[in-house]
Structure 1
Amino acid sequence: MHNSTAEALHAAATRNETWPSQSPSSEFSLGVLVLLAFLMVLLSLVTILGNILVILAFIMDRNLRHRSNYFFLNLAVSDFAVGAFCMPLYIPYALTGTWHLGRSLCKLWLVMDYLLCTASVFNIVLISYDRFLSVTKAVSYRARQGITSSPAIKMVAIWVFAFLLYCPAILLWEHVAGHSVVAADQCYAEFFDNWYFLLCASTLEFFVPLLLVTYFNMHIFHNIQRRQRRGSVQDCEPPRRSSLSWRFCGLPRPGASSSSEAEDSVSSLSRSWRPAVVANGPSRTETSSTALKRNFSASFCSSTGSKLQRDKKIAKSLAIIVCVFTICWAPYSLLMIIRGACQGKCIHSSLYEATFWLLWINSSLNPFLYPLCHLRFRMAFLKILCPKKFATLRSGNTPSS
C-alpha cells in the first residue's frame, strides 16, 4: 500500500515520535508490563460480562422491553463489541508497539473501534433525548409508547451516522491522498495527524453530543423545578378544561347542558364508593358528589406526586450517566485535537494512551450504572445472578441473608 519501501521507512521514522502507542518496554520494567497486561485483560472481561448481563436481562425479563430501554440495549451491544473485539486486539499492540495482525485486520479494527465508540456516544444522546421527551412531553410520549417502529428507526440511524463520521475516511483516505503514511508494523488512521479533520470529527462526535445532553438535562431539571414551585395545591387539582377527562373520571363536566349526564356519572361511581351520610348533614346526592371529587382529587394528587418522583429519578440517573460519559470522553477528545495541532510534540505518549483507555472505560462502567440508577435493571440482574433471592423478594418475604 506504499509507493516504495523507502517511503514507508521514511514515514515510519517521521511518525515514531508522534505515535502514542510506542513500545512501553523501553519505559517500563517487566513487572509493570505484566501488571498493565493484567489490568487491560481484566477491563476487557468486565466490559464483556457486564454488557452480556444487560443483554440477558432483556432476553429473560419482559418488564424491560419497552421503548426507552431498547436504547440501553443498543448501547450495551456497542459496549459489548468494544470489550470483545477492540480491546483484545489492541492489548498486544499497546504493550509491544508493533502490529502483528496484518493490514486488512488493522483496517477492520480501526473501522470497528471508531464505529463502536461513536455509536456509544450517539446512543447516550438518544437516551437523553428519550428521557427529555418522557419528562417534558409526557402525554405525547405515552401516546407513542406502543409504536415499535420509531425506536427501531432511531437505533438504526445511530449506527448509520456513526459509520459515516469516520469509517469512509479510514477506508478511503490513502486512496484519495495517493499514498499511505502508516508504517507496515503500525496501525492507526491515516488522518491521525490531520488537525482540521480531527477538529471537525471531534466536534460532531463529542462536543455537539455534549451540548445536546447538557441541553436535555437542563430542561429536565427546569421542568421538575417548575412543577415543584407550583405547590401541592396546584399539583393536586384535577383537570378542568377537558370534557373527556371529566367523563372518564365520572365527574360532571363544567357547563354541561344535560343534567342527566352528570347525574348518571355521579350515581354510577357513587355505587362503588358509597360514602357515608352524616345525620342532619347534606343530602346523599350532595355528599356523594363531594366525596367523589375529594377521592378523585386525592387520586390525582397521588398520581401527580408519583410521576414527579419518577421524573426525579430519571433526571438523577441520566445526570450520572452523562457525567461519567463526560469525564471519560473529554480528556481524549481535547488531547486528540491538541496532539494533532502540534504534531504530537506537546503531548506525551503515555498521557495520550491513558486518555485512550479512559475512553474505553466508559463502556465498562455503563452496565454498572444501569442497576445503580434503575430498579427494573437491578431486579433483572438479581433474577439472573441470584434467582433464589429474587424469588424470596418476589414473594414478599425478607431474605435471611
Structure 2
Amino acid sequence: MSEEQTDSNSSRYYFDNTSTRVQSSFVSSGPVFAILMVMMVTLVVVIVLGNALVILAFKVDKSLRTQCNYYFLNLAISDFLVGAFCIPVYMPYILTGRWTLGQGLCKLWLVMDYLLCSASVFNIVLISYDRFLSVTRAVSYRARQGMTHRAVVKMIAVWVLAFILYGPAIIFWELVVGKRRVPKDECFAEFYYSWYFLLSASMLEFFSPFISVAFFNLSIYLSIRRRRLHSREAQLHLQLSEPASAQGKGIPLAHNCGFGMKLAVRGSINSQTSSPSLSKLDPSTSRASQPSRLSRDKKIAKSLAIIVCVFAICWAPYTLLMIIRAACRGRCIQHHWYEVTFWLLWLNSAINPFLYPLCHSSFRRAFSKILCPRRHTTPLSAVLRTGQ
C-alpha cells in the first residue's frame, strides 16, 4: 500500500511539475512571442538552407564524392532534417505550452528528434575516425578512397545505431512499465526522469563519442608533431651533406627519397645532373611533397579540432543537465536552463554547414559554383580564342 501511495505521489509530482514548468516557461505577451518566433524561424532557415547547400554541393561537384566527404554528407542530411522537421513541429508546442498534434505524432517527433541528434554525434565520431586514418595510415587510406561502398555501409550503421539507442525506449517504454505517465497535452519521453537510463544512454551518446574523438585528435596531433621533427632532422641532414658533396668527385651524394631511405651515388656531380634517371630522384621533389603533405594534415587537424570543440560546447551542457535533472526529478534545476541547453543541440545543426567552407577548400569551391555560377562559366570569346 505504501509503495502504491509513493508511486502515486511521484506520478502526481511528475504531472504537476511538468505542467507547471511548461505553463510557466511560456510567456504569452506579444513582444516575447514575436522575438521567439523570429529567432526560431531564423534558425530553421539557416539550418535548412545551409545543409541543403552542402547536399547540393555533392550533386554539382563530383570531386567532392570521396569516401571522407560522404560522412559530411551524412551529417548534413541529419542536420537538414532537424531544421525541416524537428524544429517546425516543436515550435507550436513551445509557443503555446500545449501539444495539440496527437500522441502518434508525438511519438514520431520524439523518435526523429532523438534519432537525428544521435546520428549527428555518431557522424562526428565517424568523421574524426576517418581523419585519424588519413593521417596515421596515409598509404592504405589513399588506396581505399575509391571504395565508396564501405562509406555507405558505415553511414547506414550510424543510422541503425542512432535508432537503437533511443527508438525502442520511446516506443515501448510505457508497455514495459505498464502505464503512461505523460499527459495527453504534453510531449516528452517516458524516461524523462529515469536517471539510470539517461546515464546509460549518455555514456553511449556523448561520453564515449567525446572520449573517442579526443583520442583521435590527440593521435593526429602527436603524429604531426613526430613528422615535423623528422622533417626538420631530414632538412638539417641535407643541408650538411650538400656542401660536402659539392667539393669534388668520388664523394657520396645522399639523396633523400622521402621515406627515410637514402641512396648513395658515386661519381662526378656533372655526370649525375646530366643523367635522366638520376634526375627523377631529385631530393627537391621529395622535400616538396613532404611539407605539402604535412601542411595538409595540419589543416585536417585544425578543421577537426574546430568541429569537435563546437560539438562539445553544444552537447556537454545538455547531457550533464539531463542526468542531474533526472536524478533530482527536476527539483534542483530550473526549466529555462533545460530549454537553453536543448536549443544548443539544434544550434549545432546550424553551425556545421559553416564549418565546411571554413575548413575545406573543396567545399568552398563547390559553394562558389552554386552561389556564383557566372564566375565558373567560360566566356564564348575565350572558347573561340582557344579554338583558333
| CA deviation map 1:150-172 (0-9, x unaligned) | 11111010001001000000001
Q: 1:125 touches 1:212 (CA, 8 Å); kept in 2?
A: yes
Instruction: Give, as a single letter, the amino acid of the residue that structure 2 aligns with 1:325.
Output: F
TM-score, reference length from structure 2: 0.85
- In 2, the alpha carbon distance for the partners of 1:20 and 1:151 equals 47
Instruction: Give, as a single letter, the amino acid of the residue that structure 2 aligns with 1:238.
Output: C
5 Å-filtered alignment, 1:278-297, equals: 282=268, 285-289=271-275, 292=278, 296-297=282-283
- In 2, the alpha carbon distance for the partners of 1:239 and 1:87 equals 52
User: Who is 1:200 aligned against?
Assistant: 200
Q: Find the residue that maps to 2:22 and give its secondary structure.
A: coil
Change (3 A) 1:240 1:366: closer
Over the matched positions of the two proteins, sequence identity in percent amounts to: 56
Q: Is 1:355 aligned to 2:374, yes or no?
A: no
User: Who is 1:269 aligned against?
Assistant: none
Q: 1:20 touches 1:349 (CA, 8 Å); kept in 2?
A: no
5 Å-filtered alignment, 1:214-225, equals: 214-225=214-225
5 Å-filtered alignment, 1:272-283, equals: 282=268
- In 2, the alpha carbon distance for the partners of 1:208 and 1:19 equals 34
| CA deviation map 1:161-191 (0-9, x unaligned) | 0010000000010001111110010111010
User: Who is 1:238 aligned against?
Assistant: 257
Q: How far is 1:10 from its partner?
A: 9.3
TM-score, reference length from structure 1: 0.82
5 Å-filtered alignment, 1:1-400, equals: 11=11, 14-18=14-18, 22-23=22-23, 27=27, 29-234=29-234, 237-239=256-258, 282=268, 285-289=271-275, 292=278, 296-391=282-377
| CA deviation map 1:177-221 (0-9, x unaligned) | 111110010111010000000000011100110000000000101
Q: How far is 1:286 from its partner?
A: 3.6
Count the aligned residue pairs: 355
- In 2, the alpha carbon distance for the partners of 1:294 and 1:233 equals 23
| CA deviation map 1:2-30 (0-9, x unaligned) | xxxxx999957633424696135765632
Instruction: Give, as a single letter, the amino acid of the residue that structure 1 aligns with 2:49.
Output: L
Q: How far is 1:144 from its partner?
A: 1.2
User: Who is 2:244 aligned against?
Assistant: none
Name the stretch that deviates more: 125-134 or 232-241: 232-241
| CA deviation map 1:271-293 (0-9, x unaligned) | xxxxxxxxxx9486444359935
| CA deviation map 1:40-92 (0-9, x unaligned) | 11101110010000000000001111110000000000000000000000011
User: Who is 2:247 aligned against?
Assistant: none
RMSD between superposed Cα atoms in Å: 2.9
- In 2, the alpha carbon distance for the partners of 1:324 and 1:348 equals 25
User: Who is 1:278 aligned against?
Assistant: none
Q: How far is 1:96 from its partner?
A: 1.4
- In 1, the alpha carbon distance for the partners of 2:21 and 2:47 equals 22
- In 1, the alpha carbon distance for the partners of 2:26 and 2:272 equals 90
Q: 2:26 touches 2:95 (CA, 8 Å); kept in 1?
A: no
- In 1, the alpha carbon distance for the partners of 2:269 and 2:69 equals 52
Change (3 A) 1:216 1:289: same
Change (3 A) 1:232 1:72: same
User: What are the ranges of 5 or more consecutive residues in structure 2 without an aligned counterpart?
Assistant: 1-6, 239-255, 383-388
- In 2, the alpha carbon distance for the partners of 1:20 and 1:311 equals 52
